[in-house]
Amino acid sequence: MALREIVTVPAEVLRRKARPVTRFDDELQRLIDDMIETMRAAPGVGLAAPQVAVSQRLIVVEYAEDEEDEAAEPKLYVVVNPKITRHSKETEMGVEGCLSIPGLVGEVERYLSVTVKGQNRHGQPLKIKARGWLARIFQHEVDHLNGILFTDRAERVWTPEEPVADRV
């Protein structure tokens, strides 16, 4: 495993629609492991392959679903070719930051819950139902695969006085 450089705006790869993953080979497994290590070291709660300059439809997310329980262990999700197939009608505003846009945060409206379908790291189908902050993370990361940044969706953007703990 190795840390990869997280690219920042205005890197072109962040604005490109990523290609579907078609080969579940050793190279993909290395990329996944490197992305997990890079996300944890950043530290962040999500990372999309374009953020490490790889234009492929791959995301990693690590977050403790029980936001109330500080002792809750974070769960790691690796999703290849993710697609949001369902979402709630309800939305909510929330503050987001991004490892590829250091120094800025923004207020973004996102669906309260989503269903994400894709494949695991070995190509088997998977389906994840997410609510709250976890749903927000998945929406943020899938946006990266479509060349969309949180600043494109933000109602307002600003420089925070305090560092943001959960960068996606």
Digit-coded pLDDT (tens) for 79-104 = 999 999 999 999 999 999 999 999 99
Domain interval for residue 22: 12-158
Asked whether the predicted pLDDT for residue 125 surpasses 60, the reply is: yes
Identify whether 19 is part of a domain.
yes
Domain count, the chain: 1
CATH number of the domain that residue 106 is part of: 3.90.45.10
The answer to whether the peptide bond before residue 50 is cis (omega within 30 degrees of 0) is no
Identify whether 165 is part of a domain.
no
Q: Which of 65, 141, 161, 162 is catalytic?
A: 141
Q: Tell me: the pLDDT tens digits for 8-47? A: 999 999 999 999 999 999 999 999 999 999 999 999 999 9
Identify whether 166 is part of a domain.
no
Please tell me the distance from the alpha carbon of residue 135 to that of residue 143, in angstroms, as a whole number.
Answer: 12
- What is the identity of the amino acid at 146? N
What's the pTM? 0.92
Q: Is residue 141 flagged as an active site residue? A: yes
Identify whether 168 is part of a domain.
no
Identify whether 53 is part of a domain.
yes
**Hey, what are 129's tokens?**
């139902």
Residues sharing a CB contact under 8 Å with residue 90, sequence separation 6 or more, in sequence order: 111, 112, 113
Please tell me the distance from the alpha carbon of residue 31 to that of residue 53, in angstroms, as a whole number.
Answer: 11
User: pLDDT over 70 for what percent of the chain?
Assistant: 93
25 CB neighbour count, 10 Å cutoff: 10
Identify whether 72 is part of a domain.
yes
pLDDT at 68: 65
